[in-house]
Amino acid sequence: MVNFPNAKINLGLRVVNKRIDGYHDLETLFYPIPFHDALEIVPVLKGKESSFVQTGLPIPGTINDNICLRAVALTRKRFPYLPPLNIHLHKTIFTGGGLGGGSSDAAFTLQILNDQFNLRIPEAELAEMALSLGSDCPFFLINKPCLATGRGEILLPALVNLEGYRIVIINSGIHISTAWAFSQVIPSKPEVNIAEILNLPITQWQEHLMNDFEVPVFRAFPVLEEIKQACISQGAIYAAMSGSGSTIFGIFPKGPVKSLKLPESCVFKWL
């Protein structure tokens, strides 16, 4: 059976505090979007060895570093009787773009193993396993709009619904280092929290709903600000960068797909 790990966007992202453990406390809203990878995990025939195949968009690093294999290894530590597995991951979610594609792949791997082999891992424990793989991995176990605090693992379901709008996601091919992006932000507690801002009409979000990473990232990569402004000038009600970058998304009124005028290097997808 093929599963389809999905991406997310961030509606607002504030870096509130740097913690003594080296991580940062955040405030954001994770919103799942229908942009998917494909993931198949099946037990191999008796006498055969495990295999992993990755197709589609390239993923930086070596095959052995793939987060799906790390999720399998983590599960196998607790359940060494898991059989050898054939895994096929097909990537279509832009990598290194702030869409959480790798985290989604990892969370789906954990969930598939739990369900397929009847491991009966409690939800709280599965979330702890997911968190050890990535700060936003636990969100994809819930996969509904959630306000996120802490490292991103403290999740509160939120009544935010964008089904009445079209979303476009735009990738410029720029890869932003998450560690670098965090090093450029000075943490500060916002005067108004994101939950309050999201209660405003969507037409007011552009003025109030901020991503703290945009200032340093746009300074280093001006084309990303150009893409954001192009969305706004061509009818987006709200446009922003997702996560620590570099994907830009725009929220447009429902209607026919627009032919956006963007820099030539851009790839975009309407949802």
- pLDDT confidence of 39, banded at 50, 70, 90? very high
Whether 210 and 115 map to the same domain: the answer is: no
pTM of the model: 0.95
Q: Are 148 and 103 in contact (CB under 8 A)?
A: no
CATH of residue 206: 3.30.70.890
| Tens digits of residue pLDDT in 149-207 | 999 999 999 999 999 999 999 999 898 888 899 999 999 988 899 999 999 999 999 99
SS3 71: helix
pLDDT of residue 14 exceeding 90, the answer is yes
Query: 54-76: per-residue pLDDT in tens?
Result: 999 999 888 888 999 999 999 99
CA 259 to chain centre: 25
Instruction: Read off the pLDDT band of 86 (50, 70, 90).
Output: very high
pLDDT at 47 over 80: no
Task: Say whether pLDDT at 49 is over 90.
Answer: no
- Predicted confidence band of residue 45 (pLDDT cuts 50, 70, 90): confident
Identify the domain containing residue 199 by its residue range.
165-270
Kindly report the number of other CB atoms within 10 A of residue 263's CB atom.
Answer: 12
Q: Are the CB atoms for 166 and 35 separated by under 8 Å?
A: no
- Judged against a pLDDT cut of 90, whether residue 27 lies above it is answered with yes
Q: Are residues 136 and 193 in the same domain?
A: no
CA–CA separation, 209 and 192 (whole Å): 10
Of the three residues 139, 157, 175, the one that is the final residue of a domain is 157
pLDDT mean over 111-135:
96
Average pLDDT over residues 4-28: 94
Higher pLDDT, 85 or 49: 85
121, 33: one domain: yes
Same domain, 33 and 140: yes
Average pLDDT, the chain: 94
123 and 239 co-located in one domain: no
Active site residues: 8, 136
**Tokens encoding 149:** 């605090």
Which pLDDT band holds residue 108 (cuts at 50, 70, 90)? very high
Pair (117, 191) in one structural domain: no
From 23-32, 94-103, 130-139, 257-266, the region with the lowest mean pLDDT: 257-266
pLDDT for position 37: 98
With tokens 């930086």, the residue in question is 60
Same domain, 99 and 201: no
Q: How many Cβ atoms from other residues are within 10 Å of residue 117's Cβ? A: 16
Mean pLDDT of 82-89: 96
Overall number of domains in the chain:
2
Element (H, E) at 41: strand 38-43
Confidence of residue 269 (pLDDT cuts 50, 70, 90): very high
Query: Using CA atoms, how far apart are residues 152 and 134, in angstroms rounded to an integer?
Result: 9
Contacts of 204 (CB under 8 A, 6+ apart): none
Q: CA separation (Å) from 49 to 46, 82, 172?
A: 9, 12, 39
Q: How many CB atoms lie within 10 A of CB 39?
A: 21
Q: What are all long-range contacts of 216-222, with beta carbons under 8 Å and residues at least 24 apart?
A: 216/181, 216/184, 216/185, 217/176, 217/181, 217/184, 217/241, 217/244, 217/245, 217/246, 220/184, 221/172, 221/174, 221/176, 221/245, 221/246
- Rounded to whole angstroms, how far apart are CA atoms 171 and 107? 23
